[in-house]
Amino acid sequence: MGKCETAAASVGIKISLYDLIIQLNETNFDLIQDMLHDGFIEDENNSLNDEYYATIWCEPFNGNALIYKEYLLTSLKKNGCLDRDLLLPVKEILRTDRWGYERSGTNSMSRPIDFDLSVPIEKYKDIEKIKTVFIIRQHSG
């Protein structure tokens, strides 16, 4: 079986990992953990996303926010990710998948500009320093 390459355009949230993690507490533990799991590092060449995923996909310390926060701050600083930005897609606009062994060439897709660009970020209202951004994610695997 071949590999799949996916490209997706979304509207979402951008925040520094450091700025997000220092806000972690017992009240927002689940929300921030979901953001960390659903997001990815802004990185053009995937040099840090493997390190990032290896760090965040660990046992969540039984919901102990303080221990988890210290673990994340230490581990992400050590692997060079702490000063990077987290991108979190919230509303997907376009997506294309490409399967096969040999994937040279071009594939594309479009859609009419007749959709609502508003972004449902109400659940993130208590998270400080977020920016709404346009995100393009390309993934191969």
pLDDT in tens, 15-56: 999 999 999 999 999 999 999 999 999 988 768 998 999 999
**Comparison of pLDDT for 17 and 141, the residue scoring more:** 17
- Residue 101 CA, distance from chain mean position: 27
Q: Is the pLDDT of residue 10 over 90?
A: yes
Nearest to 13 by CA among 27, 34, 30, 28: 34
Q: How many domains does the chain have?
A: 1
Token output for 130: 């977020």
Domain extent, residue 54, equals 3-140
Residue 71 to residue 28: CA distance in whole angstroms: 17
**What does the pLDDT read at residue 109?**
79
Q: Is the CB of residue 113 less than 8 Å from the CB of residue 98?
A: no
Nearest to 71 by CA among 27, 127, 24: 24
**Helices vs strands, H then E, count in the chain:** 4, 4
